[in-house]
Amino acid sequence: MASTKASVAGVLFGLLLMASAVFAEQHDLAAAAPAAATCSTDVLDTLFNRNDPALLSNSYLALLISRYTYPTAFGISSTAEHTQDTYRELYSRKWTALGAVPGSLFFVDEDVPLAVISLLASRPEAHAVIFATKHDVWVSFRGLTNIESGLGDSARFIPVNGTFGAEGSPNFLPVHGGFYSSFASVWPRVQQAVDRAMQFTQDPSRARVYLTGHSMGAALATFAAMRLVDSQVPVGGLYLFGAPKMAQQPFVDAFMDNGLDLITFSWWNELDMIPGMSPPLSRSALPYVQLPVESTYRIWQGKCLKADGPTAMQCPLSATGERCRFNLNDHFAFTYVMKLQDCLLDQPQVASSSCLEQMIKATM
């Protein structure tokens, strides 16, 4: 009976993640062509400040890079194979116009579906885009889009070694099995693409890697950051949006030991239900946990703020003192974009600069 309940709970949790991503992007708006630039056309280099990764403009740009990994952000309604060339062309055109180095864009799809038998299993689930700017490399992971990802694996843990050595070592770290199996299916090719993209930067010896992802993509980006650090690749920042709980406390401890908590910006929009939910437990008494509060940022009542205190990991209290209800709409990638954009345009340095404002709007 317990295993049956865990299996059912796993299915429901996975389906919820899938539904949030699919519904979000189906209700997204098609990408507008970049506005005619009267300022710098290199938005990626101008708007992003590598010397201060905590700037709101950096999070906003990372969110857009993540959002456009969803084909529907370009008005493409599916991830079917015959639409992939169109999607890749539109993504390449958009981000090359905004400062990605021509020829440096690499697209990585999952070769095989997760361990699920499904009529929909012919379409890839895990997906990443890698590209170079003049100075750095970006890696963006897409969230869930296909129903097979919500079946079977969600209640299962796959142990992962933080240093990726032998089982039984002190750093043997258990994480969410469904997320990690999806990550593992693409990581070798993502790593190769990162190495190749590095060669497109002006000085590969000084280039850093920045990672971003929305929903399940945030979990995959987190695993990638740990892999890169273990490989001695410099990670400049990790930008997460609507990240689910992806691991147990030992993983989070190793994450902090690697110093990644200092360069991680995990955004939680209003009453987004995904960051606050716990996947069902299976074969372990330890709960899934979020990344440390020091890495958490909240969008709440029109303000974009760094989280403070233990309540940052919970749904805020309502004015009546009753705990508020979570809202699936707040998980949508486009909702994150609009909320962060509003906060960014309200900043004095942006409001007083028509050039900055124009660049921000050009990214949409």
Q: How many beta carbons lie within 10 A of that of residue 131, not counting itself?
A: 27
Q: How far apart are CA 347 and CA 364, in angstroms?
A: 18
| Cα(180)–Cα(175) distance, integer angstroms | 7
pTM above 0.85? no
Q: Where are the beta strands (DSSP E) in 96-171?
A: 106-109, 127-132, 137-141, 157-161
For the stretch 286-337, pLDDT in tens is 777 888 878 899 898 888 988 776 545 555 544 444 555 677 788 899 999 9
pLDDT digits over 233-283, tens only? 999 999 999 998 888 888 888 899 999 999 999 999 988 888 877 666 545
Dihedral of the CA atoms 276, 186, 240, 89 (nearest 10)?
-130
For every residue of 286-329, DSSP letters joined together read SPPBPPPGGGEEEEETTEEEE--SGGGGSPPBPTTSSBPPP-GG
Gap between the Cα atoms of 67 and 28, Å rounded: 10
pLDDT at 348 (0 to 100):
79
Residue that has been written with the tokens 């209800």 in this structure: 325
Q: Find all residues with CB under 8 Å of 234, minimum gap 6, and list them.
A: 207, 208, 209
* SS3 label, residue 240: strand
For the chain, domains (ranges, CATH) are 2-26+102-344 (3.40.50.1820)
Summarize pLDDT for 40-69 with one digit per residue, the tens.
Answer: 667 888 888 999 999 999 999 999 999 999
DSSP, collapsed to helix, strand or coil, labels residue 140 as strand
| Closest residue by Cα to residue 125 from 243, 51, 219, 53 | 219
